């Protein structure tokens, strides 16, 4: 059975917003060297577009990949690194780039780790800020688009590894 994809954010709107976020980030970190971290795999397209709109002297880029284990609720899951960062963040300003913040658990894990490593500041940027299932009180400092609910694919986000390559954001509608 073919999945039904409903456009939530078209390509033009998406790219205009990414450019705006880049400008906001540029302004916020003026005169402060920044480490921008791509949370793989979902953020890969967003990250690639976003960093081209960030003007920052001393900009460093890095990548992490997480995995969560255990079944049942998000609360009972445990998050680990599949691939850790390589840049030393001690005393540095860090911006975490996510595809979507949902429950907030994976971002919470990263915040704790980076805090322990002595980052000077840690902020969060996500293309989609999804509120319905949030379990962790956190603020997405640079949010592309707030949405209430729904399962989202495209622009890096997948359903069983499909649809990541699409240059727009869709809701996967159950038949």
Q: Which residues are catalytic?
A: 102
User: Which of 11, 13, 26, 103 contacts ligand IMP by CB under 6 A?
Assistant: 103
Per DSSP, the three-state class of 174 is coil
Find the part of the chain contacting ligand IMP (CB under 6 A) among 15-23, 49-57, 82-90, 145-153. 145-153
Residue 45 near residue 103 (C-beta atoms within 8 A): no
144 binds ligand IMP, rule: CB under 6 A:
no
Helix/strand/coil for 75: helix
Identify the residue whose tokens are 């059975």: 1
Phi, psi of 168 (to 5 degrees): -160, 170
Least Cβ distance, residue 64 to ligand IMP (angstroms)? 11
Binding partner selected for residue 157 from ligand IMP, Mg ion, none, CB under the kind-specific 5 to 8 Å limit: ligand IMP
Q: Which residues contact 13 (CB under 8 A, 6 or more apart)?
A: none
Q: How far is the CB of 98 from ligand IMP (least distance, A)?
A: 5
Which residues are near ligand IMP by CB under 6 A?
42, 74, 98-106, 151-153, 157
């Amino acid at each position: 059975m073919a999945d039904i994809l409903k456009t939530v954010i078209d390509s033009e709107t998406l790219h205009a917003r990414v450019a705006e976020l880049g400008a906001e980030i540029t302004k916020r970190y003026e005169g402060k060297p920044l480490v921008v971290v791509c949370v793989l795999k979902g953020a890969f397209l967003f990250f690639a577009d976003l960093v081209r709109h960030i003007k920052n002297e001393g900009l460093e880029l890095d990548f992490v990949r997480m995995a969560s284990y255990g079944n049942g609720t998000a609360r009972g899951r445990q998050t680990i690194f599949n691939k850790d960062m390589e840049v030393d963040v001690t005393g540095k300003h860090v911006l975490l780039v996510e595809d979507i913040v949902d429950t907030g658990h994976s971002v919470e894990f990263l915040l704790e780790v980076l805090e322990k490593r002595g980052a000077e500041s840690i902020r969060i940027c996500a293309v989609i800020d999804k509120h319905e299932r949030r379990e962790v009180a956190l603020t997405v400092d640079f949010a592309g688009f707030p949405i209430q609910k729904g399962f989202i694919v495209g622009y890096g986000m997948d359903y069983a590894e499909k649809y990541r390559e699409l240059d727009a954001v869709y809701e996967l509608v159950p038949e």
